[in-house]
Structure 1
Amino acid sequence: MFQVRQEPNCSTGGGSDTHFGLRVGSIFVILVGATCGALFPVLVNRSKRINIPGYVLEFAKYFGSGVIFSTAFIHLLSPALDAFNSPCLPDSWRSYPYVLALAMLSLFSLFLIEVIAFRWGTARLARPSLTQGLCSVPISPYEAHSTTFTEYETTNGHHHIHLEKGDEETASPSSKVGPDSAHAQFVSIAILEFGVVLHSVLIGLTLAVDEKFIILFVVLVFHQTFEGLGIGSRLALLKVDEKYNWVPIAGAFLYGFTTPVGIAAGLGVRTTYNPGTATASAVSGIMDAISAGILIYASLVELMAHDFLFNNEMLTASNKRLAFALGSMTLGAALMALLGKWA
């Protein structure tokens, strides 16, 4: 028997329109799941009435790091490669590894942005009018977690740095510029959220018109909830001044709303949007590749390196605590990688 080759659907017509009522309902289901996942660590960390054991929040923190790490490779880089291999795209798109180049470009761009941001922030806080006598200027990431430096001015007008141990709490969050400062954490979470938001909008568009809606819907409920837990655990640890306490909550809601917005937009253009067309494949591949670079950088540098390699507390922790942290992160990465089998 001869097998009939199925031609790719490259037409500009709309995607699948089955289960329309359930697709509409998915907006609210994913909205609740994603928002609750992101808000839970933030609210629990602030609440004085809810007594959650510390190991639960530790688990959420490291589990979320694993989720984000796995998302970068399995749910972003792999779909980007598939999109650029679409038969609807001209052969010129496959003549160069554009996906890997775009991921590398976004990763390297973030590195440059952070270098510039830290240099600019350090230079501003080094001014006498801004330091107000106390400024934390870590020489290396290893010292940033256990050492602060007090700046004082000598009679000849030169500024010197005096090392002091254990004075982290005396400096206000806004006066620090090291890896644990409010400035550094804000940049880190902004990078992380930007990459996740791009990804969430794209998967929302796909869910709205994909033919395998039921399987994709079930998987994305878990996907967005787990990813929200990872974002929320980082938002909960964000050190901000009291007047900016709304920032972590706003970040959690922003994440929760992105996928439903993508679904709603997809349903609105379902009669004309086909994810298999050349334009859709190119746009999806480019956005996924850029997001993959962002999350690879964020997970390896901002999360894993700072949590384990540049953290004196973890470097000197007991083997039991280290095993718990690594096990939690591995579990998050493994579960998210497993979800990649269906979505």
Structure 2
Amino acid sequence: MADVLSVSQIVALGAHAMHGGEEEEECNRAGGSDSYLKLRVASIFVILVGSSLGALFPILAQRSRWLRVPGRVIDFAKYFGSGVIIATAFIHLLLPGMEALGSSCLSAAWREYPYALALCMFSIFGIFVMEIIAIRWGNSKLAALETQQDSAKSSIRNSAVSMVKPDEKTYEGSTAILVRELQYAYPPSEDAESSPPSFNDSPLAQLVGTAILEFGVVLHSVLIGLTLAVDEGFKVLFPVIVFHQTFEGLALGARLAQMQLPTRYSYVPVVAALIFGVTSPLGIAAGLAVRTMYAPGSPTALITSGVMDSLSAGILIYTGLVELLAHEFLFNKEMMNGSSGKLAFALGSVMLGCALMSLLGRWA
């Protein structure tokens, strides 16, 4: 019986060794799929058009006079986009990050701790702390500026009043008119202390929030392009990613269209939309260029994609839940005090965007 067990153990060890060797070979196998090569090249331009149009449409629709898109459509795109961003964070980023960092191609140490979740949480708190610092710094600068402006206004009023005091008969002249105009233009603020200037609505705050959102989306788009260039399931993946990038572009574009910036910065939303439009095509081009050397299952590739996906997931989770949902609903008096129909329309749009993007996660 001992001899039989010994033989069984030898056979099992041999099978395990063969399986381990095959698995190691599969993990380090370089070279993406060469199937549909011409279509993969064409996908660069198809996705470039889809992503760019999706991101640019809300911006151009809001600025164009001849397009005349109803406000209801713009609102739908904005709320639908919020749902898309949230679903992207959980389904298209966090889950792939967990799978990559928990792969059997990595050492056992990577599977002893949920590193993807830890990195996602680190990203959330990192963005949170950065935003706190930015808001505190911005509010202090605005408060200082407000103080300087109040001092300047007070000085102007005093100077104007002193000009008319020596001769009250001239008060009805041009100087008196100047005084009245100054008092009308700069009325004393009764609730200045209760309503200090806020950094949240400033152009800089909008730029910071949008940059954070774009950074997370762009990282994800590059990885998607790289995957599409080398993945064996291209035939199924291609149409799904076209819809995926178009929806994601629509989500980003709707947010960019809502930015209220000075005229000299009006180009920023358009540039941001174009940057998003080219990221996935660049990822596809890079993947096709290195497809003979790139090993998707290698430890280096898995760690890189897993870390980037996890960090991007944290960025989009924070942006989607705090910057978009909380600000658009909980902290928005117009929404909270508005009609039930308006609230239902907004919530339904968010859930529809989340549901459709989650459904696409079945294939991509």
TM-score (norm 1): 0.86
1:11 to 28, 33, 45: 28
Deviation at 1:111, TM superposition (A): 0.4
2:355 maps to: 334
Tell me how far apart the structure 1 counterparts of residues 108 and 93 of structure 2 sit (CA, whole Å).
22
Deviation at 1:151, TM superposition (A): 10
Identity %: 57
Q: Which amino acid aligns with 1:191?
A: I
Instruction: Give secondary structure in 1 for the equivalent of 2:192.
Output: strand
Deviation at 1:161, TM superposition (A): 1.7
Structure with the largest fraction of helix: 2
Deviations 1:147-177 (A, max 9, x none): xxx9979xxxxx982568xxxxxxxxxx963
Instruction: Give secondary structure in 2 for the equivalent of 1:289.
Output: helix
Tell me how far apart the structure 2 counterparts of residues 63 and 44 of structure 1 sit (CA, whole Å).
16
2:278 maps to: 257
Relative to structure 1, the CA distance from residue 176 to residue 260 in structure 2 (aligned partners, 3 Å threshold; closer, same or farther) is: farther
Deviation at 1:131, TM superposition (A): 5.8
Relative to structure 1, the CA distance from residue 266 to residue 316 in structure 2 (aligned partners, 3 Å threshold; closer, same or farther) is: same
Q: Which amino acid aligns with 2:57?
A: F
Structure 1 portions without partners, runs of 5+: 135-149, 154-158, 165-174
Kept in 2, the 8 Å contact 1:80–1:286? The answer is yes
Tell me how far apart the structure 1 counterparts of residues 286 and 59 of structure 2 sit (CA, whole Å).
29
Tell me how far apart the structure 2 counterparts of residues 160 and 294 of structure 1 sit (CA, whole Å).
36
The reply to whether residue 85 of structure 1 matches residue 106 of structure 2 is no
1:52 maps to: 69
Deviation at 1:178, TM superposition (A): 3.9
Deviation at 1:238, TM superposition (A): 0.6
Structure with the largest fraction of strand: 1
Q: Which amino acid aligns with 2:256?
A: L
Tell me how far apart the structure 1 counterparts of residues 188 and 303 of structure 2 sit (CA, whole Å).
56
Tell me how far apart the structure 2 counterparts of residues 52 and 131 of structure 1 sit (CA, whole Å).
43
Deviation at 1:336, TM superposition (A): 0.2
Instruction: Give secondary structure in 2 for the equivalent of 1:126.
Output: helix
Instruction: Give secondary structure in 2 for the equivalent of 1:270.
Output: coil
1:228 to 249, 259, 266: 249
The reply to whether residue 311 of structure 1 matches residue 329 of structure 2 is no
The reply to whether residue 208 of structure 1 matches residue 229 of structure 2 is yes
Tell me how far apart the structure 2 counterparts of residues 160 and 314 of structure 1 sit (CA, whole Å).
25
Relative to structure 1, the CA distance from residue 163 to residue 84 in structure 2 (aligned partners, 3 Å threshold; closer, same or farther) is: closer
Deviation at 1:325, TM superposition (A): 0.3
Deviation at 1:18, TM superposition (A): 1.2
Tell me how far apart the structure 2 counterparts of residues 11 and 341 of structure 1 sit (CA, whole Å).
26
Counterparts of residues 57-206 of structure 1 (less than 5 Å): 57-128=74-145, 132-133=149-150, 161=192, 177-206=198-227
Kept in 2, the 8 Å contact 1:151–1:161? The answer is no
Tell me how far apart the structure 1 counterparts of residues 147 and 223 of structure 2 sit (CA, whole Å).
42
State the number of aligned residues: 310
2:315 maps to: 294
1:142 maps to: none
Q: Which has the larger radius of gyration?
A: 2
Q: Which amino acid aligns with 2:60?
A: L
Kept in 1, the 8 Å contact 2:143–2:197? The answer is no
